[in-house]
Every structure is written in C-alpha cells, then in structure tokens.
Amino acid sequence: MALKNDRYTYRVLWSEEDREYVGLCVELPSLSWLARTPETALKGIRSVVAEVIADMKNTGEKPPQPISGKSYSGKFVVRIPPEVHRKLAIQAAEQGVSLNRLASSKLTQ
C-alpha cells in the first residue's frame, strides 16, 4: 500500500543493536520498520505509515500534517544562561554584526 502524495519525512538509520537498518517517520515517531537493506527499510516504513494514515482516516482521527507542508515564521525563542548571552553579545560587537545575525550564522554552521 502506498500513500498518494506522500510528503512525510523519512529517515533510514543503521541500528547496531538490531544489526539491521531501521526506517523511521518523523511525523509518526512511534513507528519503525527493520530490514536488511536501507531501501527495504524505507519501503517498509512508508507502507506502515500508509496503513496507519488509512486507519486514522477511517476512524475519524486527523493524521499529522507533514513537516514539509508547514509554514515557519523564521523566529523562535531560545533561553540561554546570562553569561552565554553576554559572551555572544561581545562576539557580535567585535564582529560588527547584530546578535541575531551572529546567532543565525552559528545555527547554520
């Protein structure tokens, strides 16, 4: 079974514990699929997600929105210790940039 217009976020990782590849879906973190190859793990998790979404729709439950379809403002608040705030403010001043610009560049590195 495959989802039409599947836009969910998938990952395939090696599981040392299981000695197999594990397929995961970010939007449905309780689901996984183990397989011997990464391709099979991806195919398996996509099939499980399709079944779960179909079941959710049949029971009137709202499926999660794919992350790729969400809108983001580009703003979020991060709380840091005052000493770190001071250190970053000094770095920003020394570089002649705003604290926002400095933090943004550090986050994208």
* pLDDT for res 11: 98
pLDDT of residue 27: 97
Hey, where are the domains in the chain?
10-68, 72-107
Reported in sequence order, the residue ranges of 1-109 that DSSP labels E, i.e. its strands, are 10-15, 20-25, 32-35
pTM score, two decimals? 0.73
pLDDT, one tens digit for every residue, the chain (109 residues): 778 889 999 999 999 999 999 999 999 999 999 999 999 999 999 999 999 999 999 999 999 999 999 999 999 999 999 999 999 999 999 999 999 999 999 999 8
**What pLDDT, on the 0 to 100 scale, is given for residue 109?**
82
